[in-house]
Amino acid sequence: MRPGATPAAEFRLMGIVNVTPDSFSDGGLYLDPDAAIAHARDLERDGAAILDIGGESTRPGADPVGAECQLERVLPVIEGLRSAGCAAQLSIDTSTARVAQAALSAGATLVNDVTALRADPEMAGLVADSRADCCLMHMLGAPRTMQRDPHYVDVVGEVKAFLEARMAFAIAAGIDERKILLDPGIGFGKTIEHNLELLRRLDELAALGRPVVIGTSRKSFLGRITGREVDDRVAGTIATNVLAYERGARVFRVHDVAAVGDALAVTAATIATF
């Protein structure tokens, strides 16, 4: 948070730290651990309450990355942030239990699993035993193929039913309901129309009673609407996050933490005074 700013307790910014060579917007920028740590500290200074650290791109068409390689990328960053006294919550963006386990031992306390505990049979038990927070995200198919003609009859109804079922699965596996965050997975097996309808009707997902995470940052549907390249989509990112806040989202996974944070602080203050 910037000096002099009014604290806005109602939302949390999740800054994206991609320790990957191939992420869609910042691939290769933070593959060096020192560069990733410095970037994460900048995001923390800009107001990120959570830092989401990932060693595997899940962009459309991406190939899976093995546990060993993910660990080589993310562990030095988590350890470095902890020893530097970073106060933000550390989140590990992985679907692999071995990676999550090592990240949790090194100081992460949130598991962001884009498969909602479906990819690795060990993941749910690990999250339950560690008492970590857990983000369950909707995805249709797998990153390699998910954008090949995704189809829904009622995208919001289907995403909601999926998240409800995954939450029930997580609770049955011993995960405390209060630790669960839910995410509609913008861009994960969705057309532009699907993404926009999910944003428009986000209140229906917020009605599930758990904090909704939203991840629109710099994504391709914003480029399709504005004609802007990936590094020039901050205005589109802000528009979608402000709308998502108004519809009940409370955790915002973004690259541009300072800009989105300012927009949300003003939105939250304005809504609070009505």
Q: How many residues bind ligand HH2 (CB under 6 A)?
A: 21
Residue of 160, 179, 201, 219 with catalytic role: 219
Assess whether 160 carries a catalytic annotation.
Answer: no
257 binds ligand HH2 (CB under 6 A): no
Per CB under 6 A, the list member of 11, 15, 23, 75 interacting with ligand HH2 is 23
Q: How far is the CB of 207 from ligand HH2 (least distance, A)?
A: 19
Selected range binding ligand HH2 among 17-25, 63-71, 96-104, 265-273, rule: CB under 6 A: 17-25
Assess whether 253 carries a catalytic annotation.
Answer: yes
Smaller CB separation from ligand HH2, 61 or 83 = 61
Per CB under 6 A, the list member of 127, 186, 205, 263 interacting with ligand HH2 is 186
Smaller CB separation from ligand HH2, 19 or 263 = 19
Q: Which single residue brings its beta carbon nearest to ligand HH2?
A: 215
Selected range binding ligand HH2 among 3-11, 56-64, 122-130, 153-161, rule: CB under 6 A: 56-64
Selected range binding ligand HH2 among 19-27, 196-204, 240-248, 258-266, rule: CB under 6 A: 19-27
HEC states along the chain?
CCCCCCCCCCCEEEEEEECCCCCCCCCCCCCCHHHHHHHHHHHHHHCCCEEEEECCCCCCCCCCCCHHHHHHHHHHHHHHHHHCCCCCEEEEECCCHHHHHHHHHHCCCEEEECCCCCCCCCHHHHHHHHCCEEEEECCCCCCCCCCCCCCCCCHHHHHHHHHHHHHHHHHHCCCCHHHEEEECCCCCCCCHHHHHHHHHCHHHHHCCCCCEEECCCCCHHHHHHHCCCHHHCHHHHHHHHHHHHHCCEEEEEECCHHHHHHHHHHHHHHHHCC
Catalytic residue IDs: 219, 253
